[in-house]
Amino acid sequence: MSDLHRKLADITMRRKEEEERESRREARDDNPWPPGAWARADQAFRDGSYKLRPKLRFPVLITPDGPVCSAHALQQLAEMESPPNIMVMGLIDKQGRELEKHVTIGDIDVDAWLTVEE
């Protein structure tokens, strides 16, 4: 191998090493969790000291001919004081076109869900 080939190979290797270092540095900068943070967060969640737990929500399909036929029926079934949040969502086909059908979904919390399950 000539000197020119060695120099080119050396330059290429240095460039690749620098690109890899930069890539690792960017990946490290993008990570909002410093080392050990996942373990501390997991332990806090397990021992109950982590207070920002997401509230569990359960979607319930509301259909005129089903077991839950209205928001009022869901409210009674779940023994809720106020009506649940209701969402009406359109359906789309495989090509992404919106269909004329819509579904109605009631959103309830875990306590209401446990009451419904009983």
Task: Encode pLDDT of 27-75 as tens digits.
Answer: 666 666 777 888 888 888 788 777 666 778 999 999 988 889 999 999 9
User: Residue 35 has what pLDDT?
Assistant: 73
The H-assigned helical ranges of 31-117 are 37-47, 71-77, 110-117
How far is residue 69's CA from residue 104's CA, in Å, rounded to a whole number? 10
Tell whether the model's pLDDT for residue 19 goes beyond 70. yes
CA contacts within 13 A on the Cβ side of 93: 5
Domain boundaries defined on the chain: 3-47, 57-117
Which of 41, 59, 58 is closest to 50 using CA atoms?
41
User: Residue 75 has what pLDDT?
Assistant: 92
